[in-house]
Chain A
Amino acid sequence: MSFENYYVSTVGLIIFIIAIVIALVMNERYFRFIRNTLSQTDLAKGRGEGQVLSGEVEVLICPRCGYTKTIPFRLGDYVGKITNDVCPKDGEKLVVHAIYYVGMTEQGS
């Protein structure tokens, strides 16, 4: 077998494989998968320091002294509801001040 034959076949194969690899990377789903696996390590690092509540949380506030407390969202609560929790400073009943969602740093999607 001639050298040219061998050479062209090998180059053809390499081009073909590169094309498939590019197609896979450009494909949204695989791209997201690759990006997620790459960013996984960063996330794990970020979570370790300082435990912050994430997900759906609500903020309770004391109407008299302004004491606030952040807890996970409880079903049935709404902003303006007077809860049964009491302020540790003056025993006033706490009012739901805010309900919001703390997501990952990623925007949208």
Chain B
Amino acid sequence: MDLLVILQQVLLQVGPGSSQGNAWLMIISNIIWLALLFLFFFQDYVMVWRYAYMVGNFLTGLNRLIYNNINLVVNHIQQLLRSNGSSQVIDRSVIERRIRDLMEFVVIEPVSAEPTGLMRTLKLLVTTYNERLEESLRALLPSIERPLVQNVVDAVDGLRELNFIYKVIMHYYRLSNKYKNPYLMMQIYMLLPILREYVNALNGAITTFLKGQPVGDAAGPLTAYRFMRNCSSLEEINHNIKDTYVGLCNFEGRRVYVVKAKGPGGTVGNLDDAITYLIERVGVRPRMIITVDAALKLEGEKTGSIAEGVGVAMGGIGVERFNIERIASKYGIPLYAVLIKMSIPEALSAMPKEVEEAVNEAVERVRRVIKEGVREGEEVILVGVGNTSGVAQ
């Protein structure tokens, strides 16, 4: 008690004997000052508690989100089976286990120390992954139309991504606790806002895909679709490339080959194969190849603004882009790109109105580019890049 009194006298700079009055007030003020001092010296620890708390919260939320989305997918599958009048009753837990298995599905990156043929290997892996995912879900949904199955495939792919984020963040969270290392926690904490945005986007994507609605990324295929609608004597070209549509139409005397993924099921198609087919098998000699795709906007840019440029507008791991670039450079075909800007959440969730309006503008740009750069009687390839979920041809 003596110590406290002395401390108080020091803190408040009052002489002895003056502490008769309001004793409670003094005690409170002491506690406050001590607490402030304590916080000042231990603010690192306080911050670490806060980081751990925030990251833990994020993980709990993410876990709940994944659980809800699994339920959503399982319900959707059951509903599809029921609406199909399927006699076999599949147990809910069986479906859920299959979905959970697919969520743990891994794609092992090929060895890149010896890069010869790496692109072909990557393409093989991606194709195999997509086929495997679709086959597994087809086994669950044996007599359902293909577009509906493709939509479920895309939803499960989103779930897999969510699950992957959860596992990685949980890994570092545990590691940080295990080694009592605040810096690991701090790094995750700093990434949280970006992760949260991405997770919300994926969450929106799963719902959108299940409903079969176009996502923002469908801007490319939608541009191709609208271009074809304003084009005369449209005919489909027969080929055996999976999930890809190739149409030929006449735009003011120019022969325009329109390539897009085959809708309305969610798929990105094999656009590079289609272009290779057109050039090497059909013998098309295009004046240029125009690609239209959704592109990531920078923070300051407006959603739905359009940029034009040179090159192949195409996201993903770069396999298809590489193949198109290679065939174009082999035959000396100029590459032209039209980009529709949007953010990640907008690209993954239901297509916003701004993007829908930008598509009309993109169609106008494509027409202008064709009119300017391609003479009558010449050929040109127009490629609508992106996931064509909810957009037919």
Contacts and interface: CB of A to CB of B under 8 A. Distances in A.
B283 interface: no
Interface string B181-194: 00000000000000
Given A4-B13, A98-B356, A108 B345 contact: yes
Contacts of A73: 211, 213
Nearest to B33: A12
A9 B222 CA distance: 68
Contact of B25 (A5, A78, A101, A102): A5
Interface size class of B (residues with CB under 8 A): 35 or more
A91 interface: no
A9 B28 contact: yes
Given A9-B25, A9-B28, A80 B263 contact: yes
Nearest to A102: B353
A103 B222 CA distance: 20
Contact of A8 (B12, B200, B345): B12
A71 B230 CA distance: 23
Contacts of B33: 12
B32 A100 contact: no
A77 B389 CA distance: 11
Interface residues of A, number: 28
A13 B28 contact: yes
Nearest to B352: A101
B264 interface: yes
B356 A100 contact: yes
Contacts of B390: 78-79, 99
A12 B392 CA distance: 69
B350 A100 contact: yes
Interface in B1-59: 11-14, 18-22, 25-26, 28-29, 32-33, 36
A2 B21 contact: yes
Contacts of B11: 8
A100 B355 CA distance: 9
Nearest to A80: B392
B197 A108 contact: yes
Given A78-B391, A108-B197, A4 B14 contact: yes
B225 A109 contact: no
Contacts of B213: 56, 73, 99
Interface in A61-89: 73, 75-81
Contacts of B393: 80
Contacts of B20: 1
B119 to A, nearest CB: 32
A16 interface: yes
A56 B212 CA distance: 12
B32 A1 contact: no
Contacts of B14: 2, 4-5
B296 to A, nearest CB: 13
Contact of B22 (A1, A79, A81): A1
B225 A79 contact: yes
A97 B346 CA distance: 20
Contacts of A16: 32, 36
B211 A78 contact: no
B356 A12 contact: no
The 6 A-B residue pairs with the shortest CB-CB distance in the complex, in nearest-first order? A1-B21, A80-B392, A78-B264, A9-B29, A101-B350, A100-B356
27 contacts: A1-B22, A5-B18, A6-B25, A8-B12, A9-B26, A56-B350, A73-B211, A77-B212, A78-B212, A78-B264, A78-B392, A79-B225, A79-B263, A80-B225, A99-B213, A99-B350, A99-B351, A100-B214, A100-B350, A100-B353, A101-B350, A101-B353, A102-B352, A108-B197, A108-B345, A109-B197, A109-B345
Given A79-B264, A107-B303, 7 more contacts: A56-B350, A78-B264, A80-B392, A99-B213, A99-B214, A100-B350, A102-B352
